[in-house]
C-alpha cells in the first residue's frame, strides 16, 4: 500500500492541480462573457467532471463527445440563425472547450481509477488481516471464527464423501478464578502449556482451536467415536498436573470433555457442536 501511494501519489497530485487550474481558467476567463453559450459549456464541463470522478474515464469521454457535438451544433445554429459570419474566435473557443472536456475527462478518470485501486487494495489487505486475526495470540491455535468455518467445511465433506469425523471440546475448569488469583501473565502461561501438551498428545493432522476463553476444540478427522475416549485419557493424563511459571509451584488442573461424531442425520455443523457442548456441560469430573 505504501509503495503504491509513493509511486502514484505525486502523479495524482499533479493531475489534480492541472484539473483545478483548467477549471479556474475556464471559470474566470469566461465569467463576464455576455454569451449564454459559455455558461452552458461551463455547466456541461462540471457535469462531465462529476461523471468522470464517479463512473470513470470511458463513460466521461463518451459523454464529452456527445456534449461537444450537441453544444457545438447549437452554437453553430445560433450564429447561422442570426446571420453572423463564422469567425476565428468561434473555432478557437470550440477548440478550447474540446480540450477542456477531453483533458478533464482523462485527469478525473485517472483519479477515479486511483481511488478504485486504493479501495481494491484495502479490501485485499482486510482479507489478509482477517486471515491473520484468525490465530489466537496466546496459544497459536486458530480461533473460534476459524473453528466454525473449518467445522462447516469438514461436515460438508463428511456429508458428501462419508468421511469419519469427530470433534472434542476441552474446558479448563475455573479458569476465570485462576486468572483473578494468579494474574493474566500466569493465566497466559497456563494456556500456552496446555496448548503445547495438546500438540504433543494429538496427531499433526488433528486441527486445534481455542474456541472460547477457557475452551479448546480439536477436530479429529478419520477418528470414530470409540477412539475419542482414548484421546481423552491421553490428554487428561498429560494436562492434569501443571507447573507454574516459577517452576516451583504446581497445581491440579480440572478439565471437562465433550465430544461427538458425525452421523448422516445431522442437520448442520452447529448441531454437531451443540451436541459436544452439551456433553461437556454434563461431564462428570
Average pLDDT, the chain: 83
For residue 221, give every residue at least 6 positions away whose Cβ sits within 8 Å of its Cβ, in sequence order, or none: 154, 163, 164, 165, 205, 206, 207
Q: For the packed helices 57-82 and 88-132, what is the interaxial angle rounded to 10 degrees?
A: 160
Answer yes or no: are the C-beta atoms of 230 and 163 closer than 8 Å.
Answer: no
The pLDDT value recorded for residue 250 is 93
Q: What is the pLDDT of residues 26-58, one digit of tens each?
A: 555 555 444 556 667 777 777 877 787 778 778
For residue 276, give the nearest of 223, 230, 235, 215 by alpha carbon: 215
Residue by residue, pLDDT tens for the chain (285 residues) are 444 444 455 555 555 555 555 555 555 555 544 455 666 777 777 787 778 777 877 887 888 888 778 777 777 777 777 766 666 777 777 777 788 778 777 877 777 787 778 888 878 777 666 666 788 989 999 999 999 999 999 999 999 999 999 999 999 999 999 999 999 999 999 999 999 999 999 999 999 999 999 999 999 999 999 999 999 999 999 999 999 999 889 999 999 999 999 998 888 999 999 999 999 999 987
For residue 208, give the nearest of 221, 199, 218 by alpha carbon: 218
The pLDDT value recorded for residue 21 is 59
- Taking the model in full, what pTM does it have? 0.59
Pick the CATH number of 144-281 from 2.30.30.830, 3.30.70.270, 3.20.20.70, 3.30.450.40: 3.30.70.270
Answer yes or no: are the C-beta atoms of 206 and 219 closer than 8 Å.
Answer: yes
Helices (H), the chain: 2-29, 36-55, 57-82, 88-132, 144-161, 175-182, 184-201, 225-239, 269-281
Domain spans, the chain: 2-132, 144-281
Amino acid at each position: 500500500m505504501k509503495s503504491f501511494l509513493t509511486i502514484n501519489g505525486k502523479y495524482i497530485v499533479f493531475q489534480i492541480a492541472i484539473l483545478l487550474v483548467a477549471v479556474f481558467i475556464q471559470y474566470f476567463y469566461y465569467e463576464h462573457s455576455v454569451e449564454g453559450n459559455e455558461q452552458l459549456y461551463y455547466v456541461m464541463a462540471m457535469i462531465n467532471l462529476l461523471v468522470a470522478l464517479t463512473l470513470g474515464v470511458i463513460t466521461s469521454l463518451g459523454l464529452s463527445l456527445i456534449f461537444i457535438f450537441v453544444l457545438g451544433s447549437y452554437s453553430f445554429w445560433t450564429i447561422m440563425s442570426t446571420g453572423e459570419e463564422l469567425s476565428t474566435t468561434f473555432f478557437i473557443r470550440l477548440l478550447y472547450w474540446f480540450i477542456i472536456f477531453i483533458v478533464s475527462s482523462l485527469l478525473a478518470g485517472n483519479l477515479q481509477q486511483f481511488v478504485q485501486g486504493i479501495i481494491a487494495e484495502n479490501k485485499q489487505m482486510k482479507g489478509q488481516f482477517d486471515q491473520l486475526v484468525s490465530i489466537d495470540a496466546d496459544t497459536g491455535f486458530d480461533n473460534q471464527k476459524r473453528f466454525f468455518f473449518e467445522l462447516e467445511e469438514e461436515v460438508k465433506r463428511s456429508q458428501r464423501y462419508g468421511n469419519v469425523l469427530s470433534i472434542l471440546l476441552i474446558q479448563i475448569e475455573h479458569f476465570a478464578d485462576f486468572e483473578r488469583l494468579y494474574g493474566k501473565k500466569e493465566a497466559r502461561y497456563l494456556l500456552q502449556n496446555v496448548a503445547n501438551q495438546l500438540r504433543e498428545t494429538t496427531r499433526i493432522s488433528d486441527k486445534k482451536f481455542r474456541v472460547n476463553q477457557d475452551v479448546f476444540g480439536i477436530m479429529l478427522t478419520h477418528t470414530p467415536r470409540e477412539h475419542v475416549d482414548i484421546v481423552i485419557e491421553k490428554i487428561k493424563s498429560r494436562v492434569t498436573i501443571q507447573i507454574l511459571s516459577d517452576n516451583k509451584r504446581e497445581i491440579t488442573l480440572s478439565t471437562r470433555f465433550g465430544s461427538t461424531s458425525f452421523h448422516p442425520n445431522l442437520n448442520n455443523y452447529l448441531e454437531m457442536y451443540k451436541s459436544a457442548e452439551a456433553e461437556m456441560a454434563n461431564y462428570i469430573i
